[in-house]
Amino acid sequence: MAHSSELQSNGMLSREQLLFLFDRFSQLTSQPDVKRRIKDAVDDKQEAVAVTTAIQEAIFLEMGVDPSFGISCLGKVNMVYENDQDLMIRFYKFVASDSEEMACDEAELGPEEFTEKMLNQQKLHEQQLEMLKYMRKFHLEDQSAILEKLHQQMQDADFIGAASVLSSEQIQDVVRRRV
């Protein structure tokens, strides 16, 4: 490891450095020992995000970048690289990091509950897709009314996932009430 005086601490991370960070982070958070670290942190009532931040900091050190500088650069990526569409897509995937969220969920829930959650999530996405396909059969004004009803239903249910679907009967009812 480089001494702190040799670590990059000014300028901006290059495109190559950012891509390395995104790939390395994804690779590390999918490894069983890292998942176990996250699970252990959760079991010890620590924030899982603290572990994933420590992983990012370790990657920055591996790259010869001062970790606090590297993390501060992440806040500037969308300004500096706004015209690099490929990098921005990779950045948003990293920021919305499914791998980080999934590793945290898996650690918090355990393997059986995590698998069940993933299956329920998949089922919910399929129901949402079917609902959207069904909605497209109606006029735009009806679609707006349906979406308004859906929004109200989600608000009333505190935005829990299951509230994000209307049955075909509920959709037909909304359209009938408009007429």
Residue (of 110, 128, 81, 101) closest to 29 by Cα position: 101
Report pTM.
Answer: 0.56
15-29 vs 32-43: helix axis angle to the nearest 10? 70
Tell me the per-residue pLDDT of 150-175, one tens digit each, with 9 for 90 and over: 878 877 877 666 777 888 999 999 99
Output the CA torsion sign for 130, 131, 134, 140.
Answer: negative
pLDDT by residue (tens digit) across 26-77?
899 888 888 888 878 877 877 777 888 889 999 999 999 999 999 999 888 8
Mean pLDDT rounded to a whole number for the chain:
84
Over residues 5-24, mean pLDDT? 94
